[in-house]
Amino acid sequence: MDYERQAYSCGACSDLAAEMAAALAAASIVFKDNRAYSLKLVQGATVLFAFARERRGRYVKAIPDAETYYNSTGYWDEYIWGSAWMYFATGNSSYLKLATAEGLAKHAGASGGWKYYGIFDWDNKLTGAQVVLTRFFKMMSPGYPYENVLQQFKNETELIMCSYLPQYKVFNQTKGGMMEFNYGNPQPLQYVAGSAFLAALYADYLSATSAPVWPCGPDFLSRKVLRDFARSQIDYILGNNPAKMSYVVGYGKRYPIRVHHRGASIPRGRTSQGCTTGYKYRDSRLPNPHVLVGAMVAGPDTRDRFADNRYNYNYTEPTIAGNACLVAALVALSGGDDKGVDTNTIFSAVPAFFPNSPPPPGPWRP
């Protein structure tokens, strides 16, 4: 790639800036033992989130080329996502007030009724925000004025977890067992991995709060059902499917060998004669000269069929978003069931909601 790659800037990109703020804020919690670095991350997150709120707009309006591939339908969900992580990183209650604002929840589509409600992906952060705020609600028990919206998020999270399960038939399931969370559209595995991650994570929340079951309408299901569902979807990705193929490159005995990826498919040392040089390598039937170890490809079609060719990226393209969800799901499923989660570190910056109990009186003396 020796041709020009244009850089873009945006004066109003609330979705992008709030997403970046959420990432930096979450990272500040991960690196909190390195105080100087953690504070630097918080400072960057604060500036970005303020920019997201002050200059409102979707990033694709500033970068139209992105709209074809990664369109943004709105920034309200990123406001909730970003403000939630900003609150966990800083303990500043103004962020919690924003994350639990009823009007913001309504704009973000928290009441459901739209096609991709409940699906966590690169465009929709609402589901992730609802899940992590449900964790906060369950483990910290904040009161007025936050509990109404947080209770709503908890109820909706429970319904979303139910919707993932095949027995409720909210989403179709292929004969081979893959849930079609993107309604049969191409590149399904990133949505499968994201839903598996949230299901396993929510099972951990139930375990951490000593809740053996959660409600699905008139039914009460064990948290094991959630983990079994998550495991079944990740097992499908790793090779338990009709094609008997691992969709993670380099894992298992059989995996895609013609991944849609320039770095993996173009031989080392080749020089370019323009932006179309790579087409001959893209269209070649030869295996990739470089093995892109660890990359999850886009996945099979609705009949569990997979075409291992570079030209059709709907089968063989790996994405950052998809692989991020896969790694998260693998971590969530590692270490056995009911291993528990760290219930304290994520809330270490959050001040107590209620005053400490007064010390007991001294011993009585006549």
- Reply yes or no on whether 204 is catalytic: no
Which H/E stretch holds residue 216? strand 213-216
- Does residue 123 carry a catalytic annotation? no
Q: Which two tokens stand for residue 342?
A: 């760290």
Q: Which residues contact 265 (CB under 8 A, 6 or more apart)?
A: 258, 259, 278, 281, 282, 284, 288, 289, 290, 310
Distances (CA, A) of 202 to 90, 124, 154, 161, 225: 24, 18, 11, 8, 11
Q: Tell which residue, 162, 180, 168, 298, has the closest CA to residue 233.
A: 180
- Lookup: tokens for 167: 């027995």
In order of 61, 200, 260, the CA distances from 328 in angstroms are 31, 10, 23
Tell me how far CA of residue 210 lies from CA of 160, 299, 364, in angstroms: 20, 36, 39
Give the residues across from 214 on adjacent strands: 221
Token reading at 355: 């005053």
Among the listed residues 107, 317, 337, 342, the single catalytic one is 317
Q: Which two tokens stand for residue 89?
A: 């990183």
Pairing of strands 219-222, 213-216: antiparallel
Tell me which of 77, 78, 158, 308 is the catalytic residue: 308
Question: 33 an active-site residue?
Answer: no
Find the catalytic residue in 156, 158, 260, 261.
260
In sequence order, the 6+-apart residues with CB closer than 8 A to the CB of 22 are: 45, 78, 81, 82, 84, 85, 86, 125
- 364 secondary structure, DSSP code: P
Distance CA 137, CA 153 (A): 9
Rounded CA separation 154/296 (Å): 31
Instruction: Report CA-CA distances (Å) from 21 to 81, 169, 289, 353.
Output: 9, 36, 38, 25
Residue 215's DSSP bridge partners are 220
Give catalytic residue positions: 260, 308, 317
